[in-house]
């Protein structure tokens, strides 16, 4: 909307783009503050900035990536991560053949240097793309080293050992199962 020169936007239009009702948009925003003007709507730039502050994307975050299998290598080159508020500052693997090489412009570090580099660079977030068997162990190390947020792609439900780190789980194979369920259910209910 900013790009197309819109100055204000209302809850109905926001809802259309988000798949929500206008009431839901207003209610949800009102939880964080008053960002609109009655009779007018929400200022596009003001609301954008307010949402950035709410999400924490008004500041810059340093991110490391652990695990360079098929998925990890892809995430490494994915611009959706590197752009905006997130900066990839290190990638790790325990395969000696990969350590020292460069993947998508990133020098690959050994997993044994994990703690050292996290502390040197004061890294805050980690993307975890190791096999399920190794995920919990690596997560524990990340947390001990001072990481405060883990985006977990391993197909396992991570527990936060110390509660010092937030965990967000993404399981792509599970999403495909969700889709299969949605299809089966749609045909069943019609």
Partner DNA sequence: TAGATTGTTAATCGATTAACAATC
Positions touching DNA (CB under 7 A) are 10-12, 20-24, 26-30, 34-42
Contact 6/44 with Cβ under 8 angstroms? yes
Distance CA 34, CA 47 (A): 10
Q: Which region, left, alpha or beta, applies to residue 19 given φ > 0 means left and ψ of -120 to 50 means alpha?
A: left
Q: Contact with its own copies (CB under 8 A): which of 6, 7, 17, 27?
A: 17
CB under 5 to 8 A by kind: which of its own copies, DNA, none does 62 bind?
none
Is 184 a binding residue for its own copies by CB under 8 A? The answer is yes
Write phi, then psi, for 173 (nearest 5 degrees). -65, -35
Nearer to DNA, 20 or 145 (CB): 20
Residue 98 interacts with, from its own copies, DNA, none (CB under 5-8 Å by kind): none
At 22, give phi and psi (nearest 5°): -60, -40
Of 168, 172, 174, the residue nearest 63 (C-alpha): 168
- Residues lying near its own copies in the complex (CB under 8 A): 17-19, 54-57, 61, 63, 70-71, 73-75, 77-81, 83-86, 124-125, 127, 148-151, 155, 157, 166-168, 170, 172-173, 175-187
């Amino acid at each position: 909307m900013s790009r197309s020169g819109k100055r204000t936007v209302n809850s109905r239009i926001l809802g259309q783009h988000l798949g929500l009702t206008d009431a839901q948009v207003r209610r949800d925003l009102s939880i964080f503050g008053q960002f609109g003007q009655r009779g007018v709507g929400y200022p596009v730039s003001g609301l954008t900035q307010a949402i950035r502050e709410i999400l924490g994307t008004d500041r810059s975050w340093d991110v490391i990536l652990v695990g360079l299998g098929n998925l990890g290598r892809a995430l490494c080159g994915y611009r959706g991560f590197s752009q905006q508020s997130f900066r990839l500052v290190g990638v790790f693997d325990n395969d000696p053949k990969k350590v020292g090489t460069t993947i998508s412009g990133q020098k690959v570090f050994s997993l044994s240097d994990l703690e050292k580099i996290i502390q040197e660079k004061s890294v805050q977030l980690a993307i975890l793309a190791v096999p399920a068997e190794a995920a919990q162990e690596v997560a524990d190390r990340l947390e001990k080293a001072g990481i405060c947020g883990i985006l977990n792609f391993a197909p396992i439900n991570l527990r936060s050992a110390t509660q010092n780190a937030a965990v967000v789980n993404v399981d792509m194979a599970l999403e495909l199962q969700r889709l299969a369920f949605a299809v089966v259910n749609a045909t069943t209910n019609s």
